[in-house]
A and B are shown apart, each in its own frame.
Chain A
Amino acid sequence: MTMQNDRLLAYFMILPVVAAVLAFVIGPTYNVGTLSLTKIVMGQERGFGTFSNFTALTSDPVFWLVMKNTAIWILGGTLMCVLVGLGVGTFLAIDSRMTTGLRALILLPWVLPDVVTAMAWKWMLHGQVGIIGQTLESTGLTEETISFLGDPKLVMWTLVVVLIWRKMPLVALILCAAIRSVPDDQIEAARMDGATAFERFRFVVIPNIAFSLTAVTVISMIWITAEFALPWIMTGGGPANASQIMATYIYQQSFEFFNWGVASAMSVINLVMLASIVGLYLYINRRSWASEGSK
């Protein structure tokens, strides 16, 4: 009897959360999902259950450019973010007065609002008045001022650099904390076993922080996929779609061109991609959790 009452009470207690998830997560997702399968002409729904949005999307050459840019953005961004973060985190993990100060200071790029970061970098990288291009020119490193955001070949990579500047600090701090929690005696045992500094890092530190490393990789991947303000404010997808990524493309299609169907089709692709990243993460960690539990 009481068992049943307890269970009812438990369901009752989680009801608000379930309702909120249904209303604000499942609802819109469902909406986008159905929208992507609905043919829309001139703002009028013309039939459900068609893949025409997807075929329209993929037959547009811009789509493939967007996919390529998104790959640079997400994969390149994540990889660099984690690699640079690992390097910086390793440096910050060293005990010294300087690193203690730096550990606090490094969070600065991370606490700035997106808009401020984007505007600051946009002007610093500006083709005519940007301080970075001018400095490079006046010191003779480049022949003429480079327009980092105006050059279709450079723009995507420039965005990735700014992205790393912004996202890497937290990654570095998380990895720094993980590295510092590696037991000293393991490092010392490795020293006794004859491991060089690099071998200690590779064979002792990295395996010890593997859990944090995968977590931080997936989290950065999700952050970066969701990042919109930075590329939108800095380039708006230009020049000529050269820096158009999924997030900006979806925004442009839906709110500038009102192509709801195509935009939602793109959103569904985005969602599937994110879901597979999370799935991969869960799969990787399922293994380590399982083995943690087994005795």
Chain B
Amino acid sequence: MGSVALRNIRKSYGAVEVLHGIDLDIADGEFTVLVGPSGCGKSTLLRSIAGLETISNGEIALDGAVINKLQPKERNIAMVFQNYALYPHMNVAKNMAFSLRLAKQPKDEIDRKVRDAAEILDLAPLLDRYPRQLSGGQRQRVAMGRAIVRDPEVFLFDEPLSNLDAKLRVQMRAEIKELHQRLKTTTIYVTHDQIEAMTMADKIVVMRGGHVEQIGSPLELYDRPASVFVAGFIGSPAMNFLPAAATGGTLVTKSSVSVGKAPAGVDEGRSVIAGFRPEDLRLADSGMPAKVVVVEPTGAETQLMLRMADGDIVFTTRDRISVGPGDTVHLQIEPGKLHCFDAETEAAIRQDAAGQ
């Protein structure tokens, strides 16, 4: 079992509060990703759960038992660090065995566990190597092995892939996910890479400035972002935003371009932010006029930067299209894919009532 409950977590460094009351429930076996821009408090939250930071206020519970006051070693939580934090003077086997050795487990037990973990992580041939003799990806795996051998209730990862090159990152991403499916250990994973978050998570927690912005499954966040921030953060390329106002049941931009139907409950004349994803746009004979600025074919899809009277937008399509810079195109938003946010609070105005 390894369910984690965070209640009103606050953390201050001196007079500066960096976590402003975080509430979060993580079910046993869930893969939760904390994502957000740099400095939003992801690492601080993770380290608080690990016990490496003491929280100023609130409650951390593991399987219902409050663990705030416990030392890291008493929490039965393992952590994988961004820079691996391997012990340079111990070989791979010793690195992995360290925690078991400290726990005074019998020698053959330790050997068995280390061998099992090495088997899972493809480290068996490397057990005698020292960390400096390993590649980045191998070091990463050793760091994970060190966590696995302890068979903890919860794994914590703090941006474990950020030191790897792009290709290896994709590979390790899959390996971590596979590992999780195999071990089914509750995992909390910090990243600022939204692709990592989307591909790995059962549940994403979007953080911003020490607050939780939204919690949900990857597709929930993608389909129904709760705010402009989440909408802009999740998805790549990012969602397009245009300031607009509700006029006669449609959203109309300042330059009188209609972008789509206004959701129910938006009063006439209310100023809003209209959001739509680059991949939800279609070329049409009529619709929003835009001038092509840059065309970026990537093979599978083509990305166009377009200039509208109200701002620049991005449009991606899988069709082979024959437009060049300077051409004017007309775009329409797929039905039901228009997002609408309050101009002031930037919170989503739900379309539920409209019955899309």
Q: Which A residues are in CB contact (< 8 Å) with B51?
A: 191
Q: How far is the CA of A295 from the CA of B79 in the complex (A)?
A: 27
Task: State whether A194 and B88 are in contact (beta carbons under 8 Å apart), knowing that A189-B81, A294-B133 are contacts in the complex.
Answer: no
Q: Is A203 an interface residue (CB 8 A)?
A: yes
Q: How far is the CA of A189 from the CA of B81 in the complex (A)?
A: 8
Q: Is B249 an interface residue (CB 8 A)?
A: no
Choose the segment among A7-15, A141-149, A204-212 that binds chain B (4+ C-beta atoms closer than 8 Å).
A204-212
Closest residue of chain A to B74 (Cβ to Cβ) is: A194
B87 touching A192, Cβ below 8 Å: no
* Chain B min CB distance to A277 (Å): 24
Residue from A199, A207, A295 within 8 A of B133 (CB atoms): A295
Which of A185, A193, A203, A295 has the most B CB atoms < 10 Å from its CB?
A193
Task: State whether A192 and B78 are in contact (beta carbons under 8 Å apart), knowing that A183-B83, A185-B83 are contacts in the complex.
Answer: yes
Task: State whether A192 and B98 are in contact (beta carbons under 8 Å apart), knowing that A185-B81, A295-B133 are contacts in the complex.
Answer: no
* Chain B min CB distance to A207 (Å): 4
Q: Is B72 an interface residue (CB 8 A)?
A: yes
A191 touching B72, Cβ below 8 Å: yes
Give residues of chain A (178-203) contacting chain B, Cβ–Cβ below 8 Å: 183, 185-186, 188-195, 199, 203
Closest residue of chain B to A207 (Cβ to Cβ) is: B89
A203 touching B79, Cβ below 8 Å: no
B81 touching A191, Cβ below 8 Å: no
Interface size on B, residues (CB 8 A): 27
Q: Is B50 an interface residue (CB 8 A)?
A: yes
A208 touching B88, Cβ below 8 Å: yes
Give residues of chain B (139-158) contacting chain A, Cβ–Cβ below 8 Å: 146, 150
B73 touching A193, Cβ below 8 Å: yes
Q: How far is the CA of A208 from the CA of B131 in the complex (A)?
A: 13
B73 touching A204, Cβ below 8 Å: no
A193 touching B146, Cβ below 8 Å: yes
Chain A interface: which size bin?
20 to 34
B102 touching A195, Cβ below 8 Å: yes
Per-residue contact bits, chain B 77-108, to A (CB 8 Å; 1 contact, 0 not) = 11101110111111000000011001100000
Q: Which A residues are in CB contact (< 8 Å) with B133?
A: 294-295
Q: How far is the CA of A208 from the CA of B50 in the complex (A)?
A: 24
Q: Is B1 an interface residue (CB 8 A)?
A: no
Closest residue of chain B to A295 (Cβ to Cβ) is: B133
Q: Which B residues are in CB contact (< 8 Å) with A186?
A: 85-87
Q: How far is the CA of A208 from the CA of B90 in the complex (A)?
A: 11
Per-residue contact bits, chain B 17-52, to A (CB 8 Å; 1 contact, 0 not) = 000000000000000000000000000000000111
Q: Which B residues are in CB contact (< 8 Å) with A203?
A: 87, 98
A192 touching B89, Cβ below 8 Å: no
A204 touching B81, Cβ below 8 Å: no
Closest residue of chain A to B73 (Cβ to Cβ) is: A194
* Chain A min CB distance to B136 (Å): 14
B102 touching A192, Cβ below 8 Å: no
Q: Which B residues are in CB contact (< 8 Å) with A190?
A: 87, 98
Q: How far is the CA of A193 from the CA of B86 in the complex (A)?
A: 11
B89 touching A188, Cβ below 8 Å: no
A183 touching B85, Cβ below 8 Å: yes
Which of A183, A194, A208, A291 has the most B CB atoms < 10 Å from its CB?
A194
Q: How far is the CA of A44 from the CA of B136 in the complex (A)?
A: 72
Closest residue of chain A to B158 (Cβ to Cβ) is: A185
Residue from B50, B83, B90, B103 within 8 A of A192 (CB atoms): B50
Q: How far is the CA of A47 from the CA of B195 in the complex (A)?
A: 88
B89 touching A208, Cβ below 8 Å: yes
A185 touching B85, Cβ below 8 Å: yes
Give residues of chain B (312-333) contacting chain A, Cβ–Cβ below 8 Å: none
Residue from A199, A210, A291, A292 within 8 A of B102 (CB atoms): A199
Q: How far is the CA of A186 from the CA of B98 in the complex (A)?
A: 12
Q: How far is the CA of A192 from the CA of B85 in the complex (A)?
A: 11
Q: How far is the CA of A295 from the CA of B78 in the complex (A)?
A: 29
B146 touching A188, Cβ below 8 Å: no
Closest residue of chain A to B84 (Cβ to Cβ) is: A185
Q: Which B residues are in CB contact (< 8 Å) with A195?
A: 73, 98, 102
* Chain B min CB distance to A182 (Å): 10
Per-residue contact bits, chain A 258-295, to B (CB 8 Å; 1 contact, 0 not) = 00000000000000000000000000000000011011
Q: How far is the CA of A59 from the CA of B133 in the complex (A)?
A: 55
Closest residue of chain B to A291 (Cβ to Cβ) is: B130
Q: Which B residues are in CB contact (< 8 Å) with A194?
A: 72-73, 99, 102-103
Which of B71, B89, B130, B132 has the most A CB atoms < 10 Å from its CB?
B89
* Chain A min CB distance to B135 (Å): 10
* Chain B min CB distance to A89 (Å): 19
Task: State whether A193 and B83 are in contact (beta carbons under 8 Å apart), knowing that A188-B52, A208-B88 are contacts in the complex.
Answer: no
Q: Which A residues are in CB contact (< 8 Å) with B52?
A: 188, 191-192
Which of A189, A204, A208, A294 has the most B CB atoms < 10 Å from its CB?
A189
B85 touching A189, Cβ below 8 Å: yes
Q: Which A residues are in CB contact (< 8 Å) with B88?
A: 207-208
* Chain B min CB distance to A95 (Å): 14
Q: How far is the CA of A18 from the CA of B276 in the complex (A)?
A: 77
A193 touching B89, Cβ below 8 Å: no
Closest residue of chain A to B83 (Cβ to Cβ) is: A185
Residue from A189, A208, A292, A294 within 8 A of B79 (CB atoms): A189
Closest residue of chain B to A187 (Cβ to Cβ) is: B85
Per-residue contact bits, chain A 204-243, to B (CB 8 Å; 1 contact, 0 not) = 1001101000000000000000000000000000000000
* Chain B min CB distance to A180 (Å): 17
List 6 A–B pairs whose Cβ atoms lie within 8 Å, in order of A's numbering.
A185-B85, A188-B79, A193-B73, A194-B103, A195-B73, A195-B98
Interface residues, chain A, CB within 8 Å of chain B?
183, 185-186, 188-195, 199, 203-204, 207-208, 210, 291-292, 294-295
Closest 6 CB pairs of A and B: A194-B73, A193-B99, A185-B85, A207-B89, A189-B85, A185-B81
Beyond A191-B51, A204-B87, 12 additional contacts (C-beta under 8 Å) are: A185-B81, A185-B83, A189-B85, A189-B86, A190-B87, A192-B77, A194-B99, A194-B103, A195-B73, A208-B89, A291-B130, A294-B133
